[in-house]
Amino acid sequence: MATEGLPPLEPLFKRNAKRTHAVFASYPDDSIKDEERSVRLRLAVKIRDEYNDFRELPPALLAQQGPVGPARPKEHRKMITAGPSDSVSSSTSALISKIDNTPTPQPSTFSSNTRLSQALSLHKTTRTIKPVYHPSWKLVRVISGHLGWVRSVAVEPGNKWFATGAGDRVIKIWDLASGELKLSLTGHISTVRGLAVSSRHPYLFSCGEDKMVKCWDLEANKVIRHYHGHLSGVYSLSLHPTLDVLVTSGRDASARVWDMRTKAQIHALTGHTGTVADVKCQESDPQVITGSMDSTVRLWDLAAGKTMVTLTHHKKSVRALAIHPTEYSFASGSAGGNNIKKWKCPEGTFVFNFSGHNAIINTLSVNAEGVFFSGGDNGTLTFWDYATGTPFQNLDDIPQPGSLEAEAGVFCSTFDMTGTRLITGGADKTIKVYAEQSQ
């Protein structure tokens, strides 16, 4: 059969396939495509049908429209032209090569003695902060009644009374205004080394060298809980300001975290290699800070029960800590040179030394006004400006008549809730109250 007169099949196939392309849109043959002209035509028709009425705003709306977008440049602006060279790139490189990168020479501050002295004086003026004026403090009351060294003191949050613990194994409650003895609590069988009054419960907590940690109900004046776990004498305790948690530390080189209500031990904070002489709690991290006879201060992660930072700046045993009530910082005191140091929370960054109180520091206290107190083992007392580390008053603890001259040591101290009275306990078995002198 002759096929010479038949047209070729390829164009026919494409023409028929185009008509059914809308139906068979997923046809696998890539060769079947719309012609570019028909695509453009279809798109133009669609734009005209759908958007023709909306290409321009009505005259009423056009009148309300302000100028939109950046204004056009003025006609008289000059056009930027290339340099004299033929190629633009070569002219650019020529311009760049002309730029002088050499910095202008500055005279050295150390080129002469006058320059050096100017630089040093400028450095000194920028570093020196003027201390705030604080009135001086004087001894206003001496309270006797204990039969042993007064080792601990704590003021009640209502500022009506304070408690002291001593080597005679008795806790005594005193009226803050008059200094009269209100109550004696017996129960410890060795020196009472730590006291704390809860601001959230009617409880007084005490610890001593008899390994005991006791919770006293102040409404019934009796012990309602014991916290068992320390392997040796307990030297310090602190209450967490917001949680029902009590932290104690002592001679077994550990600090222990207790659930106040269930008496359960939550954590044993271990890592120190010597007696943990002082422990402090605060609301924000680090929530627990400990100072130890191994000459280190540790900041603890209370949730994990692990050390966050270990501060190794002290040369000798750290016996005292003080947390500032409003500033996010604390101080630590030890024996030896540069023995009082200020630290910034939460990293424990070293700020500066309080230089000048050359004694074994047994106790530190600070009030909200920035008066910082340090008490020494030899009976020396120093009052500092906490912000600058400037000492503004030095006093000597006078032992009560009948005491040995060596019994002038200060063991504990605390400011009352107003920060205007300082209560100290010492080796002459007395409690001394200092007050700010009125202007």
List the domain boundaries for the chain.
Answer: 138-436
Buried b (16+ CB within 10 A) or exposed e, 176-203: beeeeeeeebebbeebbbbbbbbeeeeb
d(CA 319, CA 295): 9
Q: Alpha helix (H) ranges present in 353-434?
A: none
Residues whose CB is less than 8 angstroms from the CB of residue 254 and which lie 6 or more positions away in sequence, other chains included? 230, 268, 269, 270, 272, 276
Model confidence over 170-219: pLDDT tens digits? Answer: 999 999 999 999 999 999 999 999 999 999 999 999 999 999 999 999 99
Q: Which of 119-123, 248-252, 414-418 has the lowest mean pLDDT?
A: 119-123
d(CA 245, CA 231): 20
Q: Which of 22-31, 135-144, 181-190 has the lowest mean pLDDT?
A: 22-31
Model confidence over 33-52: pLDDT tens digits? Answer: 667 888 888 888 888 888 77
Q: How many CB atoms lie within 10 A of CB 215?
A: 20
> Which pLDDT band holds residue 17 (cuts at 50, 70, 90)?
confident
Write down how long the chain is: 439
Over range 57-76, report the average pLDDT. Answer: 62
pLDDT > 50? residue 83: no
Cβ atoms 259, 266 nearer than 8 A? yes
d(CA 236, CA 247): 8
Over range 365-385, report the average pLDDT. Answer: 95
Phi, psi dihedral angles at 12 (to 5 degrees) = -65, -40
pLDDT of residue 124: 61
In angstroms, the Cα distances linking 417 to 118, 157, 313, 317, 422 are 47, 7, 31, 29, 10
Q: How many CA atoms lie within 13 A of 372 on its CB side?
A: 29
Over range 139-149, report the average pLDDT. Answer: 95
Q: What pTM does this model have?
A: 0.71
Over range 5-15, report the average pLDDT. Answer: 79
pLDDT of residue 43: 87
pLDDT of residue 74: 54
Which pairs count as long-range contacts for 27-33, CB under 8 Å and 24+ apart, including other chains?
none
Class of domain 138-436: mainly beta
